[in-house]
Amino acid sequence: MKIQVDEITSVIKQEIAQYSEQLDAAEVGKVISVGDGVTQIHGLGNAMAGEMIEYENGAIGQVMNLEENTVGAVVLGDYLEIKEGDTAKSTGKLLSVPVGESLIGRVVDPLGRPLDGKGAISGGQTWPLEFKAPGIAERQPVTEPLQTGIKAIDSMIPIGRGQRELIIGDRKTGKTAIALDTIINQKDSGVICVYVAIGQKESTVASVVEALREQGAMDYTIVVSAASSDSAPLQYIAPYSGCAMAEYLMYTQGKATLCIYDDLSKQAQAYRQLSLLLRRPPGREAYPGDVFYLHSRLLERSCKLAERYAIVPAGQGYKEGGVNGKTYVGVPGKHEAQSEVGDGQEVATDPTSGGSLTALPVIETLEGEVSAYIPTNVISITDGQIYLEPDLFFAGIRPAINVGISVSRVGGNAQIKAMKKIAGSLRLDLAAYRELEAFAQLGTELDAATQQQLDRGARMVELLKQGQFKPYDVIDQVISIFAGAKGYLDDLPIDKVEDFEEKMLAYFRDEIPEVRNELATQKALTDELVPKMENGIKTFKDRYTN
């Protein structure tokens, strides 16, 4: 019998390969205490802060405290099955979440596991939960509007792509309603939305998802839910998880994205709980000293990327390309200027083309206390705030925006020219109205000019009222506010303002579309266009009143 040497060699090689695949070298420690989602582990001497670890029962955790003899780690998920004496092994990886277009339209938990019963999520790409925010040179100024569809916001507190605008107010004042209307208004705009629900009831999240589905908004939305019944570690990582999902689409596909964190006060409470259990020293209101950094490192990741930067995560190079006839190399895992390269090198086309991540964080106040610890922290990080007031809400002025202390620090840069031109007078009209309203309640005789200001202000307030799930196209907003600011509603009964506006917009759409189309094309109130609009409004008003 002739021995086949090649055959024996290949069999031996296969056996060795099989054996080597089964070897799994890892640093293993022992759980010495567990409780409330926090574990102390002995034996992980080389563990890094933020590293992902695996427990004996398959649960995963994240290292948060590095102490002399032990490490403190939080359990992401069910900690009740972890017992003292269980093993925990380090993975050498940072905590990452699944990302990609396969998540769009899905409801997931902060670890990217599906919650909507639609099966597993395909794709396989991951992105680190914590990612360094772009520097000054990698950003460009915020100039492109992100239309919310809400007249009061788009006219007086405009939001631009790449901005961070805080929505703040007491509970039940319509904060989530503004966020949902903004998502619904992104239909056909190419903006991918991520709604992060932190510490909310599961029934509330279900109703939000259903509302988005009915409006067709789930086609471009990812919902990340860390419910009130979930553990504090999951509520703590939820905003970073949602941000990572949006960031991936911004960096690798150049998409415009919108992240809504609803709400960050609950995340801060979850982080306070973890910090106290990890025996970190408490500070003001028992929050840990780094609670400002908790939110600043999240919100600073929002930006409008400069078009000349292609940012490639570690291990994900772009092989083909050329921008403006040149080829650029991306430095994996870093934000750095691109340099021209020769043939044969791994290259990155500029995949961003100025992608953006806009953040709308939500903060809940207690009894209107905006000077509390967490609200002041987040106000100082963001580029403006939309303040919702309970008194306005209960008076039927919805959205209940207090235009006096609401502000956008980007201002008119994030508005089309037509809106910028008419919105200046709107804010002044409302400010004058608020001052005179209190004076008029004294019942004193008013002169004609004062009465006119009061009449106009009352109608502008009525004009800015808007029902939920009824976002307005920006061109319709301009026409409405133009009619109000020019005084065409001053002599209308207040209860007819809404009906007048609705029918006037239908008249512009159906009977004089050429004027509306000219405004939509130019996006500016030119000297030729203003008389056409005034004639259109006058003609309609004569028909409406007669």
Would you state the pLDDT for residue 377? 97
- CB 438 within 8 Å of CB 184: no
- CB 347 within 8 Å of CB 321: yes
Q: From the candidates 171, 409, 456, 509, give the one annotated as an active-site residue.
A: 409
One domain for residues 533 and 505:
yes
Residue 328 has pLDDT above 70, yes or no: no
At residue 436's C-alpha, the angle toward residues 433 and 437, to 5°, is 80
Residue 15 within any structural domain of the chain:
no
* End-to-end Cα separation, the chain, in angstroms: 112
Q: Which two tokens stand for residue 541?
A: 């008003």
CA distance linking residue 365 with residue 370, whole number of Å: 6
One domain for residues 487 and 425:
yes
Domain count along the chain: 4
Residue 330 has pLDDT above 60, yes or no: no
The position carrying tokens 């680190």 is: 128
One domain for residues 441 and 389:
no
Domain termination residue (choose one: 93, 125, 142): 93
One domain for residues 334 and 467:
no
3-class SS string, 213-231: HHCCHHHHEEEEEECCCCC
- pLDDT band at residue 24 under the 50/70/90 scheme: low
Would you state the pLDDT for residue 340? 35
Residue 311 has pLDDT above 60, yes or no: no
Give the domain extent around 500.
417-545
pLDDT tens-digit readout, 447-490:
888 888 888 899 999 999 999 999 999 999 999 999 999 989 99
CA distance linking residue 130 with residue 117, whole number of Å: 28
Residue 11 within any structural domain of the chain:
no
One domain for residues 327 and 188:
no
Q: What is the DSSP letter of 257?
A: E
CA distance linking residue 35 with residue 83, whole number of Å: 9
Q: At what angle are helices 513-522 and 497-510 packed, to 10 degrees?
A: 90
Residue 167 within any structural domain of the chain:
yes
The whole model's pTM is what? Answer: 0.87
Would you state the pLDDT for residue 339? 34
32: how many CB neighbours lie within 10 A of its CB? 14
Residue 73 has pLDDT above 60, yes or no: yes
Task: Report which of residues 428 and 487 the model is more confident about.
Answer: 487
Q: For residue 201, which of 226, 177, 227, 173 has the smallest C-alpha distance?
A: 227
- DSSP sequence for 431-456: HHHHHHHHHHTT-----HHHHHHHHH
Residue 390 within any structural domain of the chain:
yes
One domain for residues 109 and 67:
no
Residue 433 has pLDDT above 80, yes or no: yes
CA distance linking residue 244 with residue 242, whole number of Å: 5
pLDDT tens-digit readout, 148-194:
999 999 999 999 999 999 999 999 999 999 999 999 999 999 999 99
Residue 283 has pLDDT above 90, yes or no: yes
Omega within 30 of 0 (cis) for the link into 399: yes
Residue 146 carries which side chain, given as an amino acid letter? Answer: L
Q: Which range is most confident: 26-30, 124-128, 231-235?
A: 231-235
Omega within 30 of 0 (cis) for the link into 116: no
Give, in order, the Cα–Cα distances in Å from 392 to each of 153, 173, 422, 426, 499.
15, 9, 24, 18, 22
3-class SS string, 455-512: HHHHHHHHHHCCCCCCCCCHHHHHHHHHHHHCCCCCCCCHHHHHHHHHHHHHHHHHCC
- CB 262 within 8 Å of CB 200: yes
One domain for residues 370 and 456:
no
Task: Report which of residues 185 and 429 the model is more confident about.
Answer: 185
CA distance linking residue 131 with residue 475, whole number of Å: 38
Question: 3-class SS at 178?
Answer: helix
One domain for residues 71 and 220:
no
* CATH code at position 536: 1.20.150.20
Give, in order, the Cα–Cα distances in Å from 198 to each of 194, 377, 391.
13, 18, 26
One domain for residues 156 and 299:
yes
Lowest mean pLDDT of 50-54, 175-179, 197-201, 454-458, name the range. 454-458
Q: For residue 267, which of 301, 289, 303, 295 has the smallest C-alpha distance?
A: 295
Q: What are residue 179's phi and psi, to 5 degrees? A: -60, -45
One domain for residues 303 and 325:
no
One domain for residues 280 and 213:
yes
Would you state the pLDDT for residue 308? 67
Residue 12 within any structural domain of the chain:
no
Helix (H), strand (E) at residue 419: helix 417-440
Residue 480 within any structural domain of the chain:
yes
Residue 8 within any structural domain of the chain:
no
pLDDT tens-digit readout, 376-390:
999 999 999 999 999
Would you state the pLDDT for residue 346? 36
- pLDDT band at residue 341 under the 50/70/90 scheme: very low
One domain for residues 218 and 109:
yes
Residue 375 has pLDDT above 50, yes or no: yes
* CATH code at position 77: 2.40.30.20
Q: Which two tokens stand for residue 465?
A: 């009222």
Residue 135 carries which side chain, given as an amino acid letter? Answer: G
* CATH code at position 102: 3.40.50.300
The position carrying tokens 């590293």 is: 51
Q: What is the mean pLDDT of residues 408-418?
A: 90
106 has catalytic annotation: no
Helix (H), strand (E) counts: the chain: 15, 19
Residue 19 within any structural domain of the chain:
no
Domain termination residue (choose one: 414, 430, 455): 414
